[in-house]
């Protein structure tokens, strides 16, 4: 996949690198330390599973960072210069080379294995020493050359890694066998040779690494699938009406793109002509195709259905929805979960500690029984089984698999820290409008004060709402459609209360009961009507003439507008699902108490805070946290941004405002509240896989190292166990790819 150098802000540069040659947690830790040592680097995060590094800082250059990685003993490439095809070709070539090496190593090792099995079964079928030497030498120094090269680079950089353990262990077994064989040629005798052990260990480890690499690539399959959604070419409608197929990179904002039935939509845009449906399942997780007609928005990467669409381009390149999704998933997979930091600290001292244990094992057995051969084999077994591959893979593979499958279901997780935090959530606070309701209110009541009339109320309200994106504003404009709309001046949003501006010289305001009280504008004759609407669960907005600066005309109500907004079909079951998990559910809304109470009763929510401002929502979140609660806030509007930021976990609906999504740790690509429970579920399952992976990684080492040290484990069994541990950890993480949200509404 291709990732570009991105500018987070004018002072910060983000560089993505591909790292080659890492084999264990010690490797990723050393690369990280090397990158952090470069002047100007603020943060560096290395992902062993993805073989990538993400570096942020000021005044940093990719070339300087690559040089630092190479000095540490590894290779690196700027991912901006690599295309998806380049990386795929490189991975394919590496895989072919490894399989060829494995095939040759297996062919050379098989006679040694058969001879060993025959000897254990009591048959005198041992290979001649010279034959065993001839078979084992290519495996040791050709197949095993990768371990020697990596060990040299690591030791030159003053570090010890898995490769050092493998090279040291197999060399000891091979060297001891060679010594015994030569001595037998010189002084006679029949030596006990262990060429089979060194060859089998190298072959098994190589086989394990191939399986591990294949599994690691599968953990990133979801991201690769998202990246593959980008079409390379599109049909451009030219000004003269002709059409031409061009590269997507040549399309500019405002260009008209023709999308034929069955084609993948190439750009984000607005349908200008045509009727069709679009399959957006890979982007939003919604399996039902969405109807598209003139005026509807479409997203690049979706598949056009049975109609021809003419689309005006509104976003290109890195600003498209698909590009932002890919970037968000990449960032989440590159970042480290907090638990990984503990693993990194353990890995930093693990290999040196193993070398000490192996030395103690060697000296202990030699001093205890005087048998140097047994002492060396026991030490070799310690070195081989202790390779910390599984330890380094447990967290990143689970994070990659979890964030990847979540993205395919329409759940975008900002980073690994968010993923880890989400599992602890015990309280969910919901905004109402647009989150639990459809967010498409309609005007169902329009009443004027005695000194006004409904037509005037609608005309003035529409003038104020003309530039607003609020759902209530759209409802007003829809009701006024077909009538002339005036232009208001000095328009200003009043967060959580409404909007104000000047129309025809009148200083007007339109908003909630709170705004009415703040302006001391009594509802008067409309009081009873407003109460009746609120008891029906309607939202009421007041149009207020704010008077003038001389106070010759006091603020007074001109009329009211009542809005109806249906509860989302999936909302009651979404709330029930959360409550079934033991999660406390709270409703926070700026709407009136009556409307909030009616909606809450339909949803099954008993805790309500109504008529609150955005800052008060954030304060309410703070109070819940002060009680010791781990709080998730779910919202979709600009007014929800403070509360999203104040919560332990912010969850934003992508159907809402951009600022809400920027404030959130999780973004739901479709406005389905059922995805809230799904997001918490995938976080818990992912963290569960992390814990399982770490358990198995430590289990193999905690059990295997003592067994090897006490001489109860041969190098061959140790090699098989080490390879098996890595494959087990990665394969277990891959089970996350089968996850699907539990709740689906019709």
- Mind telling me the catalytic residues? 431
Of the candidates 319, 267, 278, the one whose C-alpha atom is nearest the C-alpha of residue 258 is 267
Task: Assign 24 to helix, strand or coil.
Answer: coil
Dump strand ranges (E) for 98-226. Answer: none
Of the candidates 80, 72, 87, 88, the one whose C-alpha atom is nearest the C-alpha of residue 16 is 80
Q: Cα separation of 428 and 574, whole Å?
A: 11
Q: What stretch of H or E contains 277?
A: strand 276-279
Of the candidates 129, 126, 164, 194, the one whose C-alpha atom is nearest the C-alpha of residue 374 is 194
Q: Cα separation of 308 and 256, whole Å?
A: 13
Token pair of 236 as six digits:
């451009």
From first CA to last CA, the distance across the chain in angstroms is 35
- Output helix, strand, coil percentages for the chain, rounded to the nearest 5: 55, 20, 30
Q: Cα separation of 60 and 38, whole Å?
A: 8
Q: Cα separation of 45 and 15, whole Å?
A: 11
Q: Cα separation of 433 and 439, whole Å?
A: 5
For CA atoms 714, 716, 722, 725, the dihedral sign is: negative
To the nearest 10°, report the CA torsion of 662, 664, 670, 676: 180
Token pair of 310 as six digits:
């003419």
Provide the pairing of β-strand 233-237 with 52-57. unpaired
Q: Cα separation of 475 and 486, whole Å?
A: 16
Query: 63 CB contacts (<8 Å, ≥6 apart)?
Result: 78
CB contact at 8 A, 603 and 445: no
Task: Assign 273 to helix, strand or coil.
Answer: strand
CB contact at 8 A, 368 and 711: no
Token pair of 163 as six digits:
């490769």
CB contact at 8 A, 257 and 236: yes
CB contact at 8 A, 675 and 743: no
């Amino acid at each position: 996949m291709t990732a570009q150098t991105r500018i987070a802000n004018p002072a910060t540069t983000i560089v993505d690198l591909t790292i080659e040659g890492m084999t264990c947690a010690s490797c990723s830790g050393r690369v990280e330390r090397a990158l952090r040592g470069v002047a100007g680097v603020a943060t560096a995060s290395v992902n062993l599973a993805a073989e990538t590094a993400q570096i942020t800082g000021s005044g940093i250059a990719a070339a300087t960072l690559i040089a630092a990685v190479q000095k540490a003993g590894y290779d690196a490439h700027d991912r901006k210069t690599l295309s998806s095809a380049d990386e795929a070709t490189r991975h394919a070539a590496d895989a072919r080379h490894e399989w060829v090496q494995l095939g040759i190593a297996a062919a050379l090792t098989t006679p040694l294995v058969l001879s060993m099995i025959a000897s254990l079964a009591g048959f005198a079928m041992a290979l001649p020493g010279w034959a065993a030497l001839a078979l084992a030498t290519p495996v040791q120094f050709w197949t095993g050359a990768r371990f020697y090269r990596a060990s040299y680079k690591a030791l030159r950089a003053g570090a010890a890694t898995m490769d050092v353990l493998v090279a040291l262990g197999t060399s000891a077994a091979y060297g001891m066998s060679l010594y015994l064989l030569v001595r037998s040629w010189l002084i006679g005798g029949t030596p006990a040779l262990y060429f089979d052990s060194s060859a089998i260990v190298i072959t098994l480890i190589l086989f394990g690494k191939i399986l591990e690499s294949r599994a690691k690539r599968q953990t990133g399959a979801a991201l690769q699938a998202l990246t593959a959604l980008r079409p390379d070419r599109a049909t451009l409608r030219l000004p003269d009406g002709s059409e031409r197929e061009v590269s997507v990179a040549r399309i500019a904002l405002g260009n008209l793109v023709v999308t034929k039935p069955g084609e993948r939509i190439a750009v984000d845009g607005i349908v200008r002509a045509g009727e069709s449906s679009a399959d957006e399942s890979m982007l939003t997780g919604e399996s039902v195709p969405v109807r598209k007609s003139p005026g509807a928005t479409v997203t690049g990467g979706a598949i056009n259905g049975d109609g021809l669409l003419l689309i005006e381009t509104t976003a290109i390149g890195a600003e498209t929805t698909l590009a932002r999704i890919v970037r968000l998933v990449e960032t989440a997979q590159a970042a480290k979960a907090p638990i990984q930091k503990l693993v990194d600290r353990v890995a930093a001292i693990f290999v040196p500690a193993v070398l000490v244990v192996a030395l103690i094992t060697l000296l202990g057995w030699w001093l205890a029984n005087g048998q140097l051969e047994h002492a060396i084999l026991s030490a070799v077994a310690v070195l081989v089984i202790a390779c910390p591959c599984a330890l380094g893979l447990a967290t990143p593979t689970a994070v990659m698999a979890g964030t990847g499958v979540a993205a395919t279901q329409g759940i975008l997780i900002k980073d690994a820290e968010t993923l880890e935090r989400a599992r602890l959530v015990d309280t969910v606070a919901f905004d109402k409008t647009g989150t639990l309701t459809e967010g498409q209110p309609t005007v169902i009541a329009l009443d004027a004060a005695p000194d006004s009339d409904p037509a005037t109320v609608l005309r003035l309200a529409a003038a104020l709402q003309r530039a607003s994106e609020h759902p209530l504003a759209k409802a007003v404009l829809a009701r006024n459609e077909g009538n002339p709309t005036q232009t208001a001046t000095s328009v200003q949003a009043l967060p959580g209360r409404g909007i104000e501006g000047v129309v025809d010289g009148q200083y007007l305001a339109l908003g909630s009961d709170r705004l009415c009280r703040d302006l001391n504008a009594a509802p008067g004759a409309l009081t009873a009507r407003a109460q009746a609407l609120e008891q029906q669960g309607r939202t009421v907005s007041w149009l207020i003439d704010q008077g003038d600066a001389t106070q010759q005309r006091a603020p007074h109500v001109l009329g009211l507008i009542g809005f109806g907004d249906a509860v989302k079909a999936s909302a009651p079951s979404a709330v029930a699902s959360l409550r079934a998990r033991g999660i406390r559910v709270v409703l926070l809304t700026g709407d009136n108490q009556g409307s909030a109470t009616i909606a809450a009763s339909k949803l099954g929510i008993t805790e309500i805070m109504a008529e609150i401002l955005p800052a008060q929502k954030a304060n309410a979140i703070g109070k819940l946290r002060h009680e010791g609660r781990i709080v998730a806030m779910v919202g979709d509007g600009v007014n929800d941004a403070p509360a999203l930021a104040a919560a332990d976990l912010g969850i934003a609906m992508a159907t809402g405002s951009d600022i809400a999504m920027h404030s959130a740790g999780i973004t739901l690509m479709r406005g389905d509240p059922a995805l809230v429970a799904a997001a918490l579920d995938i976080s818990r399952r992912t963290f569960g896989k992390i814990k399982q992976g770490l358990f198995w990684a430590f289990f193999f080492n905690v059990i295997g190292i003592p067994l090897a040290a006490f001489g109860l484990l041969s190098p061959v069994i140790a090699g098989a166990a080490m390879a098996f541990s890595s494959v087990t950890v990665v394969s277990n993480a891959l089970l996350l790819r089968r996850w699907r949200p539990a709740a689906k509404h019709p």
